[in-house]
Amino acid sequence: MLSWENTPSLIPMQRERAWVEIDLSALAHNVRQICQLLAPGADLLAVVKADAYGHGAVTVARTALKHGATWLGVATIPEGIELREAGVNAPILLLGATNTPEQVRAIARWNLQPTLCTPKQALIVSETLSADSPHTVLPVHLKIDTGMSRLGAPWQDAAEFAQLVQNLPQLKIASLYSHFATADSLDQTVMRLQQARFKGAIAQLTAAEIATPMLHIANSAATLTDPSLHYDLVRVGLALYGLPPAPHLANKVDLQPVLQVKTRVTQVKTIQAGTGVSYGYQFIAEREMAIATIAIGYADGIPRNLSNRMSVLIRGRRIPQIGAITMDQMMLDVSQIPDLQEGEVVTVLGRDGEESISAEDWAAMLGTISWEILCGFKHRLPRLTVSQTQEARAGVIQL
Ligand SMILES: *Cc1c(COP(=O)(O)O)cnc(C)c1O
């Protein structure tokens, strides 16, 4: 597929059909807010996996680093390479596992830092390095499973695992880390049990006279919950993007949503009572009414399950969507705006005047989480960066 960024003839067309707006001033604000909250000595790792939760990894990484983050976290090697190719020099932690010599070679070549979870992974890294790049010393991050049951060595084996890695040539233990399963829950029981296991793993290392490496366990929710969870580094994703990980954490810092989704009206028409709208006639007009078609659909990442349930914003008003959402388009009941014109801007997610629609609103309707909503916007939508002024946020300036 054509890339918007790399195809000059497409650039003038970026706001023609449908697009994602990324407010870099909101992102910078969120980064600074989070940094102010950190325990003394703790640093911020900006989690920019999945194209920075759909916001655009390179722009987000640069902005986060400029405003206080010192580390970046990605899930995959290609995500790390994308940042390096763009000239990003900060240390990059690969959150996914490393299992093959091919992966090790790419990690060494691109100066990424792998997560190790098993002795086998550690041996593959060590053997590949000694065969291919005998002069490289690679910082590695040991992951301990304290209760997420995803990646990581069992917490009981922390010292044994660290000892094994320490004895391998060319590997340098840069950090010991773990990940919470329920940090966004009001009930802290599981999180505190995981914290206790993490402390136990650290104590094991001390007892085995292994120098304590950098320590980290907090995601967004844990970072907002308690500074005693910050250790040397916090790994923050969702909060960077301006969304609280849970309602009870919404007031810990002032977060501003970074992403908005916009499209345009492509046609306005009047339909008669009894007229069906869209595939399957899920909506039938009960009266003569004005409807509009807009140029965004499920192939852009608008969940089809929101058909006949979602609203959009036009001229600061909340406008109901009607009928099945189609691949590239959907219809609206625009009875409230009889003089609506083709080409007018429609806010699908975001703020218009006093009204706003958030990823959390969609997540609640769909029975999912805001993380999945953010990651769902497809690359058919160009990502446009804006640095909105207060006036623009208030709707005085039309961007
Ligand atoms: C994705 C991820 C994070 C960030 O989680 P948020 O809840 O978005 O802050 C932190 N650590 C690891 C290991 C992750 O995979």
Domain residue spans in the chain? Answer: 24-242, 259-381
pLDDT of residue 16: 93
Ligand 1 center from residue 114 Cα (angstroms): 16
DSSP state of 368: S
**% helix / strand / coil in the chain, to the nearest 5?**
35, 25, 40
Q: Is 60 exceeded by the pLDDT of residue 302?
A: yes
- Nearest-atom number in ligand 1 for the CA of 151 is 13
pLDDT of residue 12: 87
Class at the top of the CATH hierarchy for domain 24-242: alpha beta
DSSP state of 212: P
Q: Is 80 exceeded by the pLDDT of residue 327?
A: yes
Catalytic residue, from 269, 279, 281, 378: name it. Answer: 279
Whether ligand 1 lies within 6 angstroms of the CB of 179 is answered as: yes
Crossing angle of helices 189-207 and 158-166, in 10° steps, is 50
pLDDT of residue 395: 47
Q: 3-state class of 239 per DSSP?
A: helix
pLDDT bucket at 98, cuts 50 / 70 / 90: very high
Question: Tokens 């954490």 belong to which residue?
Answer: 249
pLDDT of residue 287: 98
pLDDT bucket at 313, cuts 50 / 70 / 90: very high
Q: 3-state class of 330 per DSSP?
A: strand
Q: What is the mean pLDDT of the chain?
A: 95
Whether ligand 1 lies within 6 angstroms of the CB of 115 is answered as: no
What percentage of the chain carries pLDDT values higher than 70? Answer: 97
Segment 105-141, tens digit of pLDDT: 999 999 999 999 999 999 999 999 999 999 999 999 9
What is 55-121 written as a DSSP string? T-HHHHHHHHHHTT--EEEESSHHHHHHHHHTT--S-EEEEEE--SHHHHHHHHHTT-EEEE-SHHH
Burial class (CB in 10 A: 0-12, 13-18, 19+), 137: exposed
pLDDT bucket at 191, cuts 50 / 70 / 90: very high
pLDDT of residue 70: 98
Residues 6+ apart with CB under 8 A from 9: none
pLDDT of residue 145: 98
pLDDT of residue 387: 78
What is 14-53 written as a DSSP string? TTTSEEEEEEHHHHHHHHHHHHHHSPTT-EEEEE-HHHHH
Give the separation between CA 142 and CA 157, rounded to whole angstroms.
Answer: 11
49 is catalytic: yes
Sequence-ordered alpha helix ranges (H) in the chain:
24-37, 49-54, 57-66, 77-85, 101-109, 119-132, 158-166, 189-207, 220-225, 359-366, 370-375, 390-393
CATH superfamily of 259-381: Lyase, Ornithine Decarboxylase; Chain A, domain 1 (2.40.37.10)
Residues 6+ apart with CB under 8 A from 38: 44, 223, 227, 230, 234
Instruction: Give this prediction's pTM.
Output: 0.95
Which one of 47, 141, 223, 234 would you pick to mutate in the ligand 1 pocket, going by the greatest count of ligand atoms within 8 A of its CB?
47
CATH topology match: 24-242 vs 259-381: no
pLDDT of residue 398: 41
Ligand 1 center from residue 49 Cα (angstroms): 9
Segment 49-74, tens digit of pLDDT: 999 999 999 999 999 999 999 999 99
